[in-house]
């Protein structure tokens, strides 16, 4: 039965909002009005003002529930064009696409969030803001790469953390650049404020880190967070240089290793890689695309990564129009067909919702998810920079814009969720915590310089000092024969290519029987074999690792008829360790960082 022209337009309206609703979403906290898209006007969708009170429904939306056209448009705008703008219609897998669609359209109203959760979000925002204000007033002019303007990052991190136990995550491996790093260390990883204040000291030369000055916002950290539920989540923040996105593949490799340590190599759901990015770097640096490309590769996958782009809409002094050719900073992520959730950083409840949704998606499908949090940068690139030199109009607007903590506090007060006394008590608590830590530091500062400089919370494990003294690395004849036997035989039902039989298998046997000389690639396989027999696992990763460049290594053989792989080094003995051999993507840097 042919549908009426009106029904076709109604169904088209639903599809249009699912596809383009994000283009008119209220995600920019500095925008004075909703963005416009001519393709979402009534006229373009085939309607007029007179149609708004028509009773309509769509079998593709809300179980065909009937409502007025006005109500349907309002509902679609609330789902797809409010503080969250979701991009997911580019995902070709219909099961994955429909899962995201259902979760977006069935999510609870954010204002129905429990009172204690709303107040916990405010506490996190106030902690983040008070920390930055405190540093700004106590260490005037010192660089700290403030989080101000993007404090809802802490809401995102806390929302992910507190959901981890319910979805089976036991550990988080994190990477980030320097923007907001001190705040994340203090308020998410709970690094002691005393140590952070010590690092601001003019006399601070860390005993356990090479360097001074800007070290504090490049440092890594490891901790175990004990949650109110009783669960414990281990968190590892990797150290990172000024090369903003260089840490991404390092974190992915760390997470893969931690998954093996935790016995989580099948589904990879217990260890979560969590990467924080800046908008300009995510769009501009090639290593981002390389790292995204690792995500679904057998030798490099980590069960999906949650990416959070702290989108302060500027890169040092460069505006988005000069920094990328795409509409969004996150468009590069569409190449791996993952959902992208744009969210207004001035809406903490919306930030909480997308964080929980992103983690659920990762756990459900083992794929990446991207949160693009629109915010702003309260000060310059660093606290010694004057941003008004290049963006005077933008920074005049930012100067007038209240912080997200103040906006959210006002919202809770007006709703009766919070009393004036509650708010005052929270502010006093935050300030007292910081003042007490500073007083403790000042007492320590009077001690000897070498005592105050010690980073007493370090969990670093250092390598022994290098020595050029010779080390015995030889193996006996029996082990050598065991390895050679494995490298020169194949199963009875394996069809060896004639040329491989001659130049590889028979050649290896002949070299052994003649007592050498062993070519480099042959000696390399013997070395790998000895490690495996001694119980040391080996991972071989890189371009053309299996065969070797041109025709050398042949660490993996392929059946001449069916192409099935056979790894001789996996057949040395029952108690041997495992060897993993992976041909990598054609990468400039990500594979190096990963391994």
Residue 307 has pLDDT above 80, yes or no: yes
Question: Does some domain include residue 514?
Answer: yes
229 and 330 co-located in one domain: yes
50 and 132 co-located in one domain: no
421 and 541 co-located in one domain: no
Residue 308 has pLDDT above 90, yes or no: yes
Segment 483-518, tens digit of pLDDT: 999 999 999 999 999 999 999 999 999 999 999 999
pLDDT for 381 equals: 82
Q: How far apart are the C-alpha atoms of 255 and 274, rounded to whole Å?
A: 9
Task: Please list, in sequence order, all residues whose beta carbon lies within 8 angstroms of the beta carbon of residue 434, skipping any fewer than 6 positions away.
Answer: 130, 131, 134, 193
Question: Does some domain include residue 87?
Answer: no
Q: How many residues does the chain have?
A: 595
CB of 315 within 8 A of CB of 323?
A: yes
The one-character DSSP state at 502 is I
Question: 515, 567, 510: which is closest to 538 by C-alpha?
Answer: 567
Question: Longest C-alpha distance within the chain, in Å?
Answer: 94
pLDDT for 195 equals: 81
Q: How far apart are the C-alpha atoms of 221 and 460, rounded to whole Å?
A: 9
Question: Does some domain include residue 518?
Answer: yes
272 and 202 co-located in one domain: yes
Neighbours of 66 (CB within 10 A): 11
Question: Does some domain include residue 462?
Answer: no
More confident residue, 425 or 455: 425
Residue with tokens 């919202």: 411
More confident residue, 369 or 438: 369
Output the DSSP codes for 294-341.
HTT-TTT--S--EEEEEE-S-BTTB-HHHH-SSSSTTGGGGGGT--EE
Residues 88-98, mean pLDDT to the nearest whole number: 98
180 and 57 co-located in one domain: no
Segments of 161-252 assigned E as strands: 171-175, 221-226, 232-237
Q: What's the CATH code of the domain at 533?
A: 3.40.50.12470
More confident residue, 195 or 388: 388
Residue 202 has pLDDT above 60, yes or no: no
Domain that residue 213 falls in? 110-446
Residue 328 has pLDDT above 90, yes or no: yes
Most confidently modeled of 343-357, 387-401, 460-474?
343-357
Residue 548 has pLDDT above 70, yes or no: yes
pLDDT for 542 equals: 93
Question: Does some domain include residue 267?
Answer: yes
Residue 209 has pLDDT above 90, yes or no: no
pLDDT for 143 equals: 75
Q: How far apart are the C-alpha atoms of 591 and 299, rounded to whole Å?
A: 10
Name the band, by pLDDT with cuts 50, 70 and 90, for residue 230.
very high
339 and 301 co-located in one domain: yes
Task: Please give the backbone phi and psi of residue 373, each rounded to the nearest 5 degrees, phi first.
Answer: -90, 110
pLDDT for 452 equals: 46
pTM of the predicted model as reported, rounded to 2 decimal places: 0.93
Residue 333 has pLDDT above 90, yes or no: yes
Which segment of 92-106, 194-208, 456-470, 556-570 scores lowest on mean pLDDT?
Answer: 194-208
Segment 26-55, tens digit of pLDDT: 999 999 999 999 999 999 999 999 999 999
Number of domains, the chain:
3
Question: 123, 22, 47: which is closest to 427 by C-alpha?
Answer: 123
Q: How far apart are the C-alpha atoms of 99 and 414, rounded to whole Å?
A: 36
Q: How far apart are the C-alpha atoms of 244 and 246, rounded to whole Å?
A: 6
Question: 5, 30, 118: which is closest to 398 by C-alpha?
Answer: 30
How many CA within 13 A on the CB side of residue 537? 8
CB of 482 within 8 A of CB of 533?
A: yes
Which segment of 312-326, 329-343, 564-578 scores lowest on mean pLDDT?
Answer: 312-326
Q: How far apart are the C-alpha atoms of 265 and 260, rounded to whole Å?
A: 6
pLDDT for 225 equals: 97
Question: Does some domain include residue 103?
Answer: no
Helix extents (H) in 139-216: 153-167, 181-187, 193-200
236 and 344 co-located in one domain: yes
Q: Which tokens hold the place of 67? A: 């409502």
Determine if residue 382 is left, alpha or beta; phi over 0 gives left, psi from -120 to 50 gives alpha, anything else beta.
Answer: beta
Pairing of the two strands 340-344 and 369-374? parallel
pLDDT for 210 equals: 40
Residue 567 has pLDDT above 70, yes or no: yes
Q: How far apart are the C-alpha atoms of 299 and 316, rounded to whole Å?
A: 36
Task: Please give the backbone phi and psi of residue 236, each rounded to the nearest 5 degrees, phi first.
Answer: -120, 115
489 and 436 co-located in one domain: no
Give the chain's end-to-end CA distance (angstroms, integer): 59
Q: What angle do CA 359, 406, 352 make, to 5 degrees?
A: 10
Which is it for the CA torsion 325, 328, 330, 335, positive or negative?
negative
pLDDT for 346 equals: 98
Average pLDDT of the residues of the chain: 92
Name the band, by pLDDT with cuts 50, 70 and 90, for residue 451.
low
Question: Does some domain include residue 89?
Answer: no
Question: 126, 111, 30: which is closest to 406 by C-alpha?
Answer: 126
């Amino acid at each position: 039965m042919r549908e009426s022209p009106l029904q076709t337009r109604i169904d088209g309206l639903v599809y249009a909002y699912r596809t383009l609703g994000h283009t008119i979403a209220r995600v920019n906290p500095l925008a004075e009005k909703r963005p416009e898209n001519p393709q979402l006007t009534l006229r373009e969708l085939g309607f007029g003002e007179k149609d708004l009170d028509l009773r309509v429904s769509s079998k593709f939306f809300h179980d065909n529930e009937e409502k007025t056209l006005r109500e349907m448009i309002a509902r679609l705008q609330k789902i797809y064009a409010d503080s969250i703008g979701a991009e997911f219609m580019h995902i070709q897998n219909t099961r994955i696409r429909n899962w995201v669609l259902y979760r977006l359209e069935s999510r609870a109203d954010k204002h129905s969030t429990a009172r204690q959760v709303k107040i916990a979000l405010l506490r996190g925002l106030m902690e983040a803001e008070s920390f930055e204000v405190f540093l700004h007033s106590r260490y005037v002019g010192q660089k700290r790469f403030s989080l101000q303007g993007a404090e809802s990052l802490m809401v995102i991190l806390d929302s992910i953390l507190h959901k981890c136990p319910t979805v089976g995550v036991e550990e988080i491996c994190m990477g980030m650049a320097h923007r907001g790093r001190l705040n994340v260390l203090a308020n998410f990883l709970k690094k002691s404020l005393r140590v952070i204040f010590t690092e601001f000291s003019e006399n601070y030369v860390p005993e356990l880190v090479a360097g001074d000055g800007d070290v504090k916002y490049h440092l890594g950290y490891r901790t175990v967070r004990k949650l109110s539920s009783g669960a414990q989540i281990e968190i590892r923040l990797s150290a990172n240089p000024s090369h903003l996105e260089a840490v991404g593949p390092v974190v992915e490799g760390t997470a893969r290793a931690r998954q093996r340590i935790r016995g989580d190599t099948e589904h990879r759901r217990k260890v979560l890689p969590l990467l924080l990015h800046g908008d300009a770097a995510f769009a501009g640096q090639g290593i981002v695309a390389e790292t995204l490309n690792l995500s679904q590769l057998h030798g490099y996958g980590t069960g999906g990564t949650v990416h959070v782009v702290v989108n302060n809409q500027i890169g040092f002094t460069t505006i988005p129009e000069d920094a990328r050719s795409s509409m969004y900073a996150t468009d590069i992520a569409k190449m791996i067909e993952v959902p992208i959730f744009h969210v207004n950083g001035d809406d903490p409840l919306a930030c909480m919702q997308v964080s929980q949704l992103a983690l659920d998606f990762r756990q459900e499908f083992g794929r990446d998810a991207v949160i693009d949090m629109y915010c702003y940068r309260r000060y310059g690139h660093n606290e010694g920079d004057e941003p008004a030199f290049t963006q005077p109009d933008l920074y005049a607007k930012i100067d007038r814009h209240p912080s997200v903590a103040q906006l959210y506090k006002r919202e809770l007060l007006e709703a009766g969720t919070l009393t004036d006394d509650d708010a005052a008590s929270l502010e006093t608590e935050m300030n007292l915590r910081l003042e007490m830590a500073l007083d403790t530091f000042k007492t320590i500062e009077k001690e000897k310089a070498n005592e105050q400089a010690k980073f007493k919370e370090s969990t670093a494990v250092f390598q022994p000092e290098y020595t050029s003294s010779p080390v015995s690395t030889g193996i006996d004849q029996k082990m050598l024969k065991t390895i050679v036997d494995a490298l020169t035989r194949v199963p009875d039902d394996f069809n060896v290519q004639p040329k491989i039989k001659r130049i590889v298998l028979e050649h290896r046997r002949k070299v052994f029987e003649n007592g050498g000389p062993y070519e480099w690639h042959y000696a390399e396989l013997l070395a790998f074999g000895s490690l495996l027999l001694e119980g040391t696992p080996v991972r071989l990763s890189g371009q053309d690792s299996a065969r070797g460049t041109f025709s050398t290594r042949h660490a993996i053989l392929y059946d001449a008829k069916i192409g099935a792989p056979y790894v001789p080094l996996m057949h040395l003995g029952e108690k041997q360790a495992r060897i993993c051999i992976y041909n990598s993507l054609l990468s400039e840097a990500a594979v190096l960082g990963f391994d």
